[in-house]
Structures are given as structure tokens and as C-alpha cells.
Structure 1
């Protein structure tokens, strides 16, 4: 029972957030945030947008290179979860009002508040925007994805996907890829389609989910999926029905992002690292210790990376750190530099967080339990502690066998 509870807790932590040389590198600096940031999106001019799950909600706007927000975009007092930027700079924000109502707020570029809202189901909704402005909304409790047409005022269609849709990535041709964490699959939705065209499995030898979570797509349609349970990044080639190769990433990799030069950046919750995989590489080149348990991340046009580490318990101030392209390049070469600079008081390093309100778990065959995917970013240490319990339990049962670090999140 203890093992199952630890597994449940670990998976919950991953949803809410929701191997390399041990090289350290100094970031450009901490970004001071008085709130509970859980998501980050970066515009073409380098402006970063951070969604606030904490009291008052809103979206913090951080200019390129700045160390604190220049303003806050109002979301009507509602907590924000999902976040996506459209090609024209329109910001889409998933909000929750605590009364069982969900909505997608539409904020035109430069505006100080929400211009209109589009009702969606209750819950926390990861978002992604396509190159034509189509918005994809993961409905974790319903195991569906809602599609909002460009400039739409309502949900255009809803598509059935695998259990526990956690994250969505959209390729240049408009194809959407959905990582279904509970099911252990990736659903492929062609541009304009009303149904999934194919499903790619990410299952262990015993048929259980590898816990796919973070997902990123190159312009050519190559897809990368961070698998928490199997400790790797699955590579899916354009048009393929199966995984082509895997890149080992230790510590329960949970989010992945692509840089302009083709590099991949992966956050690992358990080991508290940001790993760097250079273009065409088959393994991790190096890593940077993060300021607490890292959750979501985004890459800026100049190659810098912003990483969110959730707070210990919401409401609270999580750590937000910007790593320069130079620091990341040094890490990929295995160079050793200073450890990350200490955050200012409001962004002090935080190893974890208590999970936000969520829907009930959906147990699988007994080897793990999983939740419908959620917005992510507020349960890092909670998950890490659960992994420790799980590993200890398994080691008692089978001394000498390494416990699956993939239960980390």
C-alpha cells in the first residue's frame, strides 16, 4: 500500500509541475516573482509571460533581460494554469475560478487584460497554439482535446485522445501531438482534423505507461517526448508509428523544449537539473543544477532558457531563473562553472510544492497510478519525496535492482 501511495503521489507531482556530466553553470540571474508561477511562454522579442496560479491570478510580463516583471496582465482574479502564445502575439490563458468553471482567456498583444473568454470544462488545462492561431486545449478529466479555431469565440470541436493528456506540441504544418501520460501514448491530430489519425505507444516491457509528459516538435515533424518512468527522451520521426530512438536522461525527465539552434533542454524533477542535448546528439552533453525542483521551461530567441521551480506550498513564491546561451553551451561541453546564483528573497530556491486541487487518480494495472494531466508546476518536492519512498520500498523487495526513477513525477 505504501508503494502504491508513493507512486500515486509521484505521478501527481509530475502532472502538477508539472544522465549527464555534473557540470554547473551560472545563470544570468533570478527573476523576482511575487506569486506562484507555473507556466512560461516567450515571445519573438524575448518578452517572457509567466502564469500565476497564486492569489489574484494574472500573467507576469518580464521584458527580455529583465530581472522582474514590468507589469501584470489581469485575469479577473482567477488563477492561471495553461498558457500559450499565438503567432500574432495573442496570449491564451487557461483560468480556474475555484467554483468548477474553466475558461480560456484571450489577451491581444499589448493589452492589459482579457478581451474575451471561451468556456471550457472544469480543471487545469495545458494549452498549445498552432502556426495559424489554432488553439489546442487538453481536457485532462475527459481525456479529450478541445480545438479553438483562429480568432474563435467558442470551442470548434472536441477530439478523443488517450487517458491523461498532459502536454501538447504543434509542428509547423499544424499537426498536433498529445502526450497521454496515463495511457502511455502520443495521439496525432492532423491540422483541421476532427479525430486522431494515429496513436504511438510509449509502454514498458510489461505493458505499463512510461509516463510521457513533456513534448516538443521540430518544424520537420520530429517529436521528442520526455518519459518520466523510463528516464529517457523518445524520438519519433516524421510520419512514424513507433519510437525511432531514445536518449537517456536521468532523474525523471518531465519537460522538454527546443532551442532555435536545434538543441534540446530537459528538466528533471528528481535530480533537480536542466540537461542539454546538442543538435544531432544521441546523449546528454551536460547539465546545470537548478534552483529547486524544476518544472516547466521555455527557450528565448537568443538561446537563453527560463526555468520555473515551483514553491514549497502554494500560495508562495517559486524560483524563476534565466540561463544564458553561454552558460548552456558551457554545460553541454561538460565545463564546470559557478553554481546558480542565489535567488532574491521572493524567488528563493524551493525544492517542492503541495499539489493544487485535482481530479481523482486513475489506477492502472497496479504498478503505478496516474492522474489526468494538469497544468503543472506546483508539486516538485512532493513528487521527489514520493520517489524516494517508492525506491526504498522496491529495494527492500529486490536488493541490488535499481528502482524505476520514472515514478518521479
Structure 2
């Protein structure tokens, strides 16, 4: 009876150890940056570019498969609000200083902005067409600015619906612009100066379904993430109306499409990354994200990078979901886990990228619990063994004295 507390301690420690055990294996990882990454673009070689809206701005450059940035492209201290990659690998970076916006042009593999194209003030989502034309959404003016390939100034400006949020361009150069406030998608053919058609995304009561993220498939089908109606609207090539809807819980915010036609959708309210396979066009499974997810992009190897701005002590988190994990969850696996935050290697001196203490600390809790459990069990066993030896010694001494 007198050693029951020690037995309880050992059992409790063992339970802690068992609870911590599943955290040992995790298929995904965190990408460590210091800042607030709000935009991501991935090149054909797998290099990821992360636009930093935090202090100092810049674009973090993360090689394929790497867990941290190896260099940072300067934006002159201005926050990056938009990113796009041209067909030749040119990187376009939208920046703002509060009074004047600009689109910086970084040649493929370049280390700095080679030239800047002035645009209006404000936040500017970007998209690049197959011929190198750059499309700049202007939420403050409810317009879309078009910059011709190799242009040095805005070529033309197109009026779109209120609150333009994102832009996608199909292979034939047609631009699609979601307008979150108006509840519309504006369609602008290549070379046009006006909208050719407007796709309505409003509820039965006439209010906007809040279309936000948008992606164009290889066959020209366009997919729109509607926050308020919690679905993905599917627009077939050449159509002016929605052909079908795919329900995605939690207010889907952004959508990206893989080379095989799979859709990946982030939902801010449920903090999930949902997988939609082309053969079913329904949510096949989902994975929890590390924080509230925002924008995302699909890499050539099938992995998906998800940004969670506004979480973590240093401003934001970046998670990579492997192709294997995404395939597993879409086959009905129940082993879905959030991205692991493995301890990073030591960063070279002066490197702009560093470990995210918030992400690592929270995800390290199970591992810490496992270490504590082992220590608790060890101490408890030591107490039990020594106590029993002492009791046996006292009993032997009493026997000899009698």
C-alpha cells in the first residue's frame, strides 16, 4: 500500500509515453522562414518562392525538397503582395509601400529585381499568361491591369466586379478574375480590353457567395472557391454559367490544381487541406493544417505547399504535404496528421531563413512528453527496487536478531 503512489507514477509515465508515441512518424514537414509568407509560386524545377508580407518584405527562395530558404530576393524593404511565374521562369513580384505599388521583374534564377513596373497603390494578386502577359488585380479600383510580355508599363486596364481577389489564366490566354464583393467571375479573352462575359456566383437572396481562389485546369475548366457557400464552382471551357458544384466544408478559400487534374483546397474555418480527385470530383479526404491555411501551390513532384499567415511567433507558417500523404488520405486512410515540425539544422550565418519557434514548440510537445515519461518511469522503477531491497534487508536483520 505504501508504495502504491510509485506504481501509479510508473503507470502514468507509461501512459504519457504511449500518448506521445504516434508523433514519432509523420509524413510531412515544416519549411522554416522568418516573416509572414502570404504568396507562393513553384517553378518547374520545384523551387518554391515565398512572398513575405512581413517587415522587410522580400521573397524567400526554397530549393526543391528543402526545409528552409537558401536565399532571399530583396524587394527594397517593401511587403510582397503577389507572385507569379512566367513561362520562361521569370518571377514577377507585386509590392507596395502604401502610396505606390509596383511589379518587380526577376529574371529566371536571378538574385534581385531587374526592373519595376509602376501600378496603383494597394494589394495586388498576380497571374502570368502562357505568352508572358502579366495580369494585376487592383482591389482598390475594381480593375485588372494588363502588362504585355516584356512590357515596361501597364498596357491596358479592364473594369471588373467589386473586390477582385484572384486571377487565373487558361492555356489560350483567357483571364478569369474572381470578385469577392460582387460575387462574380469576369472573363477577359487574350488581348481584350473589356470583359466578354460575367459569371454570377450569388445566393438565392442575391448576396455574394464570396468567390475567392481560382484555378484553371489543363483542359480549360476553371474552378472557383466560394467561401460563403462552402463549395467549388466548376466552369467548363467557353461557358458562362456554373456546370456543377463540389461541397467543401469550412469556407474554402483557395484552390490549386495538379498536373493529373487533382484539386487541393484550403479551408480557413476547419483548418484543413482537402483533396479532390478528378475521377470522382468529390472530396476524397482531408488533412489538418498547422494553423489557419491560406494560399497554396502544387510542386512538380505532387507535393503541396500550404501557407498559414498570421500564425506562429514570427508571423506565419509554411507546411509541405508529401504526395504519398495526400494519396493515402484520398484513399480513405484515417491516419491523417498535421505537418510535422522537425528540428531544423543550424542555419548559416546571415541566412534570412530560420526556425519557427512557435511551430516547433507546439509540435514538439508529444516528443517532450515522451522524454518526460521515460524519466518518470525510470525514477519510479528505481524507487520501487530500492524500497523493496530496503524492506528485505530489514526483514533479514529482524530474523537474525530473533
Report the number of matched residues. Answer: 324
From 327, 330, 339, give the equivalent of 2:328: 330
Distance 1:27 1:52 in 2: 26
Distance 1:125 1:210 in 2: 22
SS at match of 1:285: strand
Distance 1:195 1:218 in 2: 23
* Cα offsets for 1:44-64 (capped at 9, x unmatched): 000000001111111000000
Distance 1:268 1:39 in 2: 16
What TM-score results when the alignment is normalised by the length of structure 1? 0.77
Q: 2:175 matched to which residue of 1?
A: 176
Q: Which has the higher helix share?
A: 2
SS at match of 2:283: coil
**5+ long unaligned stretches in structure 2:** 1-24, 344-354, 361-402
Q: 2:315 matched to which residue of 1?
A: 317
* Cα offsets for 1:181-211 (capped at 9, x unmatched): 0000000000111111000000100011000
Q: 2:274 matched to which residue of 1?
A: 275
* Cα offsets for 1:107-155 (capped at 9, x unmatched): 1111111101000000000000001000000000100000000000000
What TM-score results when the alignment is normalised by the length of structure 2? 0.78
Q: 1:33 matched to which residue of 2?
A: 33
Counterpart contact for 2:266–2:295, Cα < 8 Å: yes
SS at match of 1:274: strand
Distance 1:43 1:274 in 2: 21
* Cα offsets for 1:320-375 (capped at 9, x unmatched): 0111111001111121225224435516349xxxxxxxxxxxxxxxxxxxxxxxxx
Please list, as runs of the form range in 1=range in 2, the aligned pairs for 1:111-122 lying within 5 A after superposition.
111-122=110-121
Q: 1:297 matched to which residue of 2?
A: 296
Deviation (angstroms), 1:260: 1.0
SS at match of 1:233: strand
Distance 1:227 1:198 in 2: 19
* Cα offsets for 1:218-263 (capped at 9, x unmatched): 1221110000000000001111111010000000000000011110
Matched, 1:59 2:59: yes
Please list, as runs of the form range in 1=range in 2, the aligned pairs for 1:341-360 lying within 5 A after superposition.
341-343=339-341, 346=356, 348-349=358-359
Distance 1:189 1:347 in 2: 44
Counterpart contact for 2:60–2:69, Cα < 8 Å: yes
Counterpart contact for 1:33–1:347, Cα < 8 Å: no
Distance 2:252 2:357 in 1: 23
Deviation (angstroms), 1:290: 0.2
Distance 1:54 1:293 in 2: 17
Counterpart contact for 1:30–1:347, Cα < 8 Å: no
Q: 2:197 matched to which residue of 1?
A: 198
**5+ long unaligned stretches in structure 1:** 1-24, 351-409
Change over 3 Å in CA distance of 1:119–1:88 after alignment to 2? same
Q: 2:92 matched to which residue of 1?
A: 92
Which piece of structure 1 moves more, 214-223 or 142-151? 214-223
Comparing both chains, which one has the higher relative contact order based on Cα–Cα distances under 8 Å and sequence gaps of 6 or more?
1
Distance 1:341 1:225 in 2: 26
Matched, 1:50 2:60: no
Distance 1:237 1:338 in 2: 32
Distance 2:129 2:26 in 1: 34
Counterpart contact for 1:31–1:347, Cα < 8 Å: no
Q: 1:262 matched to which residue of 2?
A: 261
Counterpart contact for 1:263–1:276, Cα < 8 Å: yes
Distance 1:26 1:300 in 2: 20
Counterpart contact for 2:308–2:317, Cα < 8 Å: yes
Distance 1:221 1:131 in 2: 13
Please list, as runs of the form range in 1=range in 2, the aligned pairs for 1:13-32 lying within 5 A after superposition.
26-32=26-32
Instruction: Show structure 1 runs of 4+ deviating over 2 A.
Output: 25-28, 340-345, 347-350
SS at match of 1:348: helix
Counterpart contact for 2:231–2:247, Cα < 8 Å: yes
